Structure 1
């Protein structure tokens, strides 16, 4: 697992915001967004390598 300092600056800023300033409402909103985003990404990574190819805006696979 990565050390906290090894993550991108944007991630570190987000974590610090949550720890220091975020309201309960903001945290709940972020929790929903992050939860669904993480679940989606895990699903994409667990598919076969062919299924992991990026898709274009039209929904078709790239070259």
Structure 2
């Protein structure tokens, strides 16, 4: 499956002016992360366990 066939979700924390945007797509074996302004670049792939740990840490931080 190519990255164009995936369901990409933009972060709710992305800037309202179109900058600092991150998109995520979930696959069976990995979570893909990409810059929404440059969708032709290869996405970063991380394991689902690593993504879960990252989001749990991020949710606990005070940004």
Q: Same fold (TM over 0.5)?
A: no
Which structure exhibits the higher relative contact order, with contacts defined as CA atoms closer than 8 Å and separated by 6 or more residues?
A: 2
What TM-score comes out, normalization by structure 2 length? Answer: 0.35
Q: Which has the larger radius of gyration?
A: 1
The structure that is strand-richer by fraction is: 2
